[in-house]
């Protein structure tokens, strides 16, 4: 499988696709939490990167 996002592209063997998805989802969720904290600290309104 070929997977792409705003940061890049990666080829993932099908047998590892679910594991890669699970890891990537956790990373995304953690990133959103970190961004929310930063936005709150800076007094910024939330955008699509923190929802």
pLDDT at 47 over 90: yes
What distance lies between CA 19 and its chain's CA centroid?
A: 15
3-state secondary structure 1-41: CEEEECCEEEECCHHHHHHHHHHHHHHHHHHHHHHHHHHHH
φ and ψ of 36, to 5 deg: -60, -45
Q: What is the pLDDT of residues 11-42, one digit of tens each?
A: 999 999 999 999 999 999 999 999 999 999 99
- Report field, pTM of the whole predicted structure over 0.75: no
Q: Domain map of the chain by residue range?
A: 13-51
CA gap 20, 13 in Å, rounded: 10
Contact 47, 36 (CB under 8 A): no
């Amino acid at each position: 499988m070929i997977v792409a996002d705003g940061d890049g592209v990666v080829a993932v063997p099908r047998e590892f696709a679910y594991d890669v998805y699970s890891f990537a989802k956790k990373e995304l969720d953690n990133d959103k939490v970190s961004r929310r904290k930063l936005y709150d600290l800076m007094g910024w309104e939330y955008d699509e990167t923190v929802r």
